[in-house]
Structure 1
Amino acid sequence: MTGDLLGDLDMFETDLFGYAAARERDRALPKLPVAIAGDARDTRKDGDAGPAKTARQDRGLRSWLAGAAAEKIVALAYDRRGIDLLETRWRGRGGEIDLILRDGSEIVFCEVKAARSTQEAILRLRPAQMRRIHAAASEYLGRVPEGQLAQVRFDLAVVDGTGCADILENAFGHF
């Protein structure tokens, strides 16, 4: 991250949309063996370098890149509102928080979803995920001077297929 949100966004768009070209380049590279010769898991034939990436791995990479791009779009939207970005993909023992921001005296914990519609994103935010976000937020608050007395807000940000961000402030309750 360079600190320049527009430059970072361009980098992620390049990564996201250049993925197919990168995959083609990767296919041209020699593959390293995934099992040691003679190992019981070694199912390779002579001259075979091992299995290619699975469809599941491809979907996982695409999802990760789409999520990272969506987070950049949302961070830019908050920046335009004058809200300071503190952390991205902050991970605690309780779980991960996509974006942590400061809006004046308030700490904002934001869950970012890439979805076709806001309604679809709301349905994807399950109670178990909200509990994990609350647990991680509680852990994060233990590291700031205000501690558990800090004013907090939990937002849900949705990025649709066109790249438009919709931020729902106070989308889910306080812990």
Structure 2
Amino acid sequence: MNPILRALLNRLLGDRGERAAARLLRREGLRVLRRGYRTAHGEIDLIARDGDVLVFVEVKARRRGVPAEAVTVEKQRRLTLAALHFLKRHGLLECRSRFDVVSVLWPDDDGEPTLEHYRDAFEAQGRGQMFR
């Protein structure tokens, strides 16, 4: 497959996955505040509030396998730095926060995906570690 077409299809799958993940989080009572927060360190797919906790959500959408396994330690480090950027920029360094992962597994047909929400999926990584 053409690499440009593959990248476009992956982006479309990722966008659909983020929308499905946002719906799931809302059903679970979280308030989605932001989608696609970009920094030099990377992107945070969703930022939500769960009571008094700020939640940084990584969404992994795939057609097969275990999507959540793609959240490597390096990805966790980049997400930590991006979250720290967000907290500093908005004066929220004292705010409790956590990292969640939403796994979205799409069926081969156009059916509904299987979603799994992993709360508190990992701790802050690297030199930008945050405190709870």
Scaled to the shorter chain, the TM-score interval is: 0.7 to 0.9
| Displacement after TM superposition at 1:143 (Å) | 2.6
Alpha-carbon separation, structure 1, partners of 2:69 and 2:30: 26
Alpha-carbon separation, structure 2, partners of 1:159 and 1:99: 14
Partner of 1:150: 95
- Greater C-alpha Rg: 1
With normalisation by structure 1, the TM-score equals 0.64
Tell me which of 67, 84, 92 is aligned to 1:138. Answer: 84
With normalisation by structure 2, the TM-score equals 0.84
Q: Is the 8 A contact 2:67 2:105 kept in 1?
A: no
> Greater strand share, 1 or 2?
2
| Displacement after TM superposition at 1:60 (Å) | 0.4
**After the TM superposition, which parts of structure 1 deviate over 4 Å for at least 4 consecutive aligned residues?**
none
Cα deviations across residues 23-52 of structure 1 (Å, max 9, x unaligned)?
xxxxxxxxxxxxxxxxxxxxxxxxxxxxxx
Q: What secondary structure is seen at the aligned counterpart in 2 of 1:142? A: helix
Q: What secondary structure is seen at the aligned counterpart in 2 of 1:134? A: helix
Residue type of the alignment partner of 1:101: A
| Displacement after TM superposition at 1:94 (Å) | 1.8
Cα deviations across residues 112-161 of structure 1 (Å, max 9, x unaligned)?
001334xx22331111111110000000001334x221110100110112
Residue type of the alignment partner of 1:123: E
Gaps of 5+ in 1: 1-53
Partner of 2:16: 69
Alpha-carbon separation, structure 2, partners of 1:81 and 1:130: 24
Q: Would you say how many aligned residue pairs link Structure 1 and Structure 2?
A: 119
| Displacement after TM superposition at 1:63 (Å) | 0.2
Tell me which of 81, 85, 92 is aligned to 2:39. Answer: 92
Alpha-carbon separation, structure 1, partners of 2:25 and 2:68: 19
After superposition, residues 18-167 of structure 1 pair within 5 angstroms as 55-115=2-62, 116-117=64-65, 120-145=66-91, 147-162=92-107, 163-167=113-117
User: Percent identity between the aligned chains?
Assistant: 32
CA RMSD of aligned residues (A): 1.4
Q: What secondary structure is seen at the aligned counterpart in 1 of 2:49? A: strand
Cα deviations across residues 51-71 of structure 1 (Å, max 9, x unaligned)?
xxx700110000000000000
Given the alignment of the two structures, is residue 172 of structure 1 paired with residue 118 of structure 2, yes or no? no
Alpha-carbon separation, structure 1, partners of 2:119 and 2:54: 12
